[in-house]
Amino acid sequence: MVKRKNSNIQRILSAFLIAVMFLMGFSTNASAFNNGSAVRYADKYYKTYNTAKYRKFVRGDCANYVSQILYAGGMGMNENWRYKNSSTYTKSWAVANDLKNYLKYTYGATFLGCWTKKGTSGDFPSYAYVNNSSNLLGQGNEVIVYDWHGEGIMDHVSFCVRTGKDPDSGRYGDLVNQHTTNRKDAIWNLDPYNPHRKTTRIYAFRV
Amino acid sequence: MKKRTIIFGAISLICVMCIGASAFMLSGFAQDASEAQDKELLEAVTAAEEAILSVGVVPAEYLLEEVDLAAVEAGEAELVPQEVKEKLMEAQDSSLADAYTKDIADPLHETIGTVLEASNDLIDFDIDSGVLSPTLISTQKGENGQMIVMIECVGWLKAVQQIETDDLYHAQLIMAKDLITYSLIEQDGQWVVNGTLDMTMEIAPDTYSPFKGAYETLEEAVRAATMLNPEEENPF
């Protein structure tokens, strides 16, 4: 009788532990993300498009590309962020501003910082001559978003793949891959390529 | 009876012709009015794009005619002294105020000041900017008299920058193709931008290098950057 009671308690405890572990597995986003897989995908499809699985967005493919990388890294799709087919997908999959909002407010990505070229007061320190942001690690789990006119709506998104030398500008620092203009290993702040760099605000998140 | 029918027929024909001619003229007027409005809208958004690209630009003419660039290089003079900074800010504020509503133009005032101030500390400044091939893609009426206007253009920026790895002065021409959707309102009879709804910037492909030469002196680099021709270099 006592033996049976103990065994029931053991079963309940085991079920409880399994449930807790299951829930932790879903809530701890960072532990589930595979940086290596994300970077491999980013490098494989920086120039070409994975059209077997995803459509190409002609007027700006940046968010679609970064979403694919995040999915390749293990970020799970859900009703707020998903791609089903060429006509069924969430805005957060394909639009930079919505992807940023999803990562920040729903997914719970870690906000790493924000920058402008020459700094303004307070929240936006300068990135001039600081190609390696102290807040970025270049380890394949960082998303960079760009607001070209500095009005608070994000216009572009890229994925930080590694730290090294930008082959086109010769600058050393954290490097990103991106679509829209397809680039591999561009310096993270895109400073040498951006005529709107004085009004651009840049934000970074770790997934 | 026959005569009456002929007269009635003739009058009817004349009426139909008059109505047709009026409709034709009215549609012609409407088309002219629409074309005139499209032209005004394109001019307004082009001016907005030019104004925002010119934020913090230190004009090459001023640099070459009024600044001792060798002294700046040696750290013995400022590139943008206070009185020049105030004049440039006034001119750039004015361009922004003509193209944007106050709530957009005002916050950019601080950006202009910061960029011009920083030009004294870093050899990293812009000497000219502009827009190529502005094209109206679409217009549509928004709420409360707003117009939603999409344009495509190529924005360019001439710059001089010292890169720490080689200690030389680099002349740069940065170009990108912008697809922008602006909202505009009419203010004192002029269309002005009251918001950027969407902006896709296509930076130049990697076959285009914005670096157009490295120079040992600041003056050489400024002169070289001045000579760059955006129309000839345009990769789009």
Least confident segment among A30-44, A79-93, A123-137, B163-177 = A123-137
pLDDT, mean of residues B85-90: 94
For residue B108, what are the contacts with CB-CB under 8 A and spacing of at least 6? A199, B52, B55, B96, B100
For residue A170, name the pLDDT band (cuts at 50, 70, 90): confident
Mutate which of B49, B54, B106, B115 to test chain A, going by most A C-beta atoms within 10 A?
B115
Model-level pTM? 0.83
Distance CA A118, CA B115 (A): 6
Mutate which of A127, A149, A157 to test chain B, going by most B C-beta atoms within 10 A?
A149
Tell me, what DSSP letter sits at residue A106?
A: I
Q: Which chain B residues are closer than 8 Å to A153 by Cβ? A: 196-199
A170 and B163: CB-CB below 8 Å?
yes
- pLDDT for A22 equals 45
Side-chain half-sphere exposure of B71, counting CA atoms within 13 A = 10
Q: Is the pLDDT of residue A24 over 50?
A: no
For chain A, the domains span: 31-206
For residue B20, name the pLDDT band (cuts at 50, 70, 90): low
- pLDDT for B182 equals 96
pLDDT digits (tens, 9 = 90+) for B168-189: 999 999 999 999 999 999 999 9
Distance CA A178, CA A40 (A): 14
Query: Do residues B176 and B154 touch, judged by C-beta distance below 8 A?
Result: yes
pLDDT digits (tens, 9 = 90+) for B196-231: 999 999 999 989 999 999 999 999 999 999 999 999
- The ipTM, to two decimals, is 0.83
Distance CA B210, CA B213 (A): 9
pLDDT digits (tens, 9 = 90+) for B49-77: 999 999 999 999 999 999 999 999 888 99
Q: Is the pLDDT of residue A121 over 50?
A: no
Q: Locate tokens 């449930």: which residue? A: A19
Q: Is the pLDDT of residue A27 over 50?
A: no
**Which candidate from A119, A150, A192 shows the least CB-CB separation from B210?**
A192
B200 and A180: CB-CB below 8 Å?
yes
For residue B118, name the pLDDT band (cuts at 50, 70, 90): confident
Q: How many CB atoms lie within 10 A of CB B117?
A: 16
pLDDT, mean of residues A61-84: 97
Q: Locate tokens 């605000």: which residue? A: A201
Least confident segment among A30-39, B155-164, B173-182, B220-229 = A30-39
For residue B119, name the pLDDT band (cuts at 50, 70, 90): confident
Q: Which of residues 26-65 of A touch B (CB under 8 A)?
A: 59-60
B209 and A168: CB-CB below 8 Å?
yes
A183 → chain B, closest CA residue: B206
For residue A25, name the pLDDT band (cuts at 50, 70, 90): very low
Query: Do residues A98 and A92 touch, judged by C-beta distance below 8 A?
Result: yes
Q: Is the pLDDT of residue B30 over 50?
A: yes
Reply yes or no on domain A31-206 having CATH 1.10.150.
no
pLDDT, mean of residues B39-46: 96
- pLDDT for A15 equals 60
Task: Retrieve residue B35's tokens.
Answer: 């074309």
Q: How many CB atoms lie within 10 A of CB A145?
A: 25
**Which candidate from A153, A156, A193 shows the least CB-CB separation from B210?**
A193
Q: Which chain B residues are closer than 8 Å to A168 by Cβ? A: 206, 209
